[in-house]
Amino acid sequence: MSFLAWIDFDQADRDRTRRIMDLFDSEDSRDELGLGSVRDALSDLLFPGTSTIQTRLRYFLFVPWIYRIAGAHSGTAAGRRDLARSLEIRLIDALKLGGETRGVIGSAAGERLKRLPSDVYWAGLHTLGIRRFQGSRSAYLEASPGDSDALWASGLPAPPEEFLSTDNCAVSLALSQEEAGFIRDRLTHETPNSLFTWLARQDEAPECDMIWQHPFRTTWPSAIQEQVDHAMKFSMLMHGAALLYNLLLSERAADMQGAGNSIWHQRAQDYSGKLQLWATETPLELFVEWDLDDLWLTSLGTSHKIGMSTRRFIENWRAFVLKSEGKVASDPGAISLVKEREKRLKGAKSRFRNDGALSRWSGASGTSPLNYRWSPVVAGHLKDLTNV
């Protein structure tokens, strides 16, 4: 039996841990090969202040409004915490009364909600300079009630009249022009050179599955185009490693089942087909002159450290992909590289050496190509900005 030992440092640590645990709740986005540092570095460069669990942009205003109300309460810190939670829960019904159906945090859980909007947006509020207070939500509510207004960015729009004042108050997720302008100003001030800021200034938000498919990509500043180029190549290249990982595990599970046509035999065939399609559709020439040293240098501008073992794994994987012309499923070097990487990361819990761990595997780990929070999170935020 495995468990997570909880050390109660501060809210920032807890928020960060919860975001990591969210990724483990979704099998197809799990980081089984230790690529998260590169993925998150590029995500933060392109779309600062965002996270995979955000839903709608107006929560960047809901949370400050609620915490200003709670922070100004003259009771105890415990009373202010209770008030903040009750307002966040009330927001769920208020949005439903306002006719909102998409992106309402807690729409199903209601009063049982554990992941509050403030939990989801607190870090991003600081990145965008909306929250000036440096500490956790609990520390904020322990501060003197009269200080709460100074702990937020100047120019923060006022909440709608009677905001959450009663149980039958209706609230919308649509931004006003003033609110959209405030968020654009925050992006421009705090992250002037990011793609998120550049796109937020535009009058339209074209739809595309991946950010490198954006129709206006060639008009972006060269530095941004280079970041997106790194993101595209990394996603395409490492998607093959993820597919090979799933194929190898499926084959091992099928061998444990013995002869026949079990679900694991079927999954092995499915992953084999997907890997062949990846090799056929991925333009391998993209990786020949790709400057990985520049990728490592680019990541230094973030808080994410890319270790030497991760760099070597990515560099060696590229070499095997090019040498085998994408036929990695039949390349002993590529197979060994993926297996040894997972064994090093998981140790005794590796699915390549632990039959129990393999038996608990759902059959899909990290199978979704990396999209760096673009869809649906950032694409949805941009729609909220342009639909004003």
**C-alpha atoms less than 13 angstroms from C-alpha of 367 in its C-beta half-sphere:** 17
Which has the closest alpha carbon to 56: 140, 139, 179, 150?
A: 179
Please name the amino acid found at residue 189: H
pLDDT for 4 equals 34
CA separation for the pair 248, 352 (Å, rounded): 9
pLDDT for 28 equals 56
pLDDT for 75 equals 87
What residues form DSSP beta bridges with 131? 152
SS3 360: coil
CA separation for the pair 301, 308 (Å, rounded): 17
CA separation for the pair 188, 380 (Å, rounded): 19
Which has the closest alpha carbon to 162: 102, 79, 94?
A: 94
pLDDT for 262 equals 86
Location of structure tokens 């091992």: 252
| Cβ–Cβ under 8 Å, residues 267 and 361 | no
Please name the amino acid found at residue 65: W
pLDDT for 29 equals 58
CB atoms within 10 A of CB 195: 26
Report how far Cα 121 is from the mean position of its chain's Cα atoms.
Answer: 12
Q: What is the pLDDT along the chain (388 residues), one digit of tens a residue?
A: 333 333 333 444 444 444 444 444 445 557 999 999 999 999 999 999 999 999 999 999 999 999 999 998 888 999 999 999 999 999 999 999 999 999 999 999 999 999 999 999 999 999 999 999 999 999 999 886 666 668 999 999 999 999 999 989 999 999 999 999 999 999 999 999 999 999 999 999 999 999 999 999 999 999 999 999 999 999 999 999 999 999 999 999 999 988 777 899 999 999 999 999 999 999 999 999 999 999 999 999 899 999 999 999 999 999 999 999 999 999 999 999 999 999 999 999 999 999 999 999 999 999 999 999 999 999 999 999 999 8
Q: E strands, 44-188, where? A: none
CA separation for the pair 288, 38 (Å, rounded): 19
pLDDT for 87 equals 97
Q: Evaluate the omega torsion of the peptide bond into residue 221 and state whether it is cis, within 30 degrees of 0.
A: no
Q: Is the dihedral of CA 163, 157, 126, 384 positive or negative?
A: positive
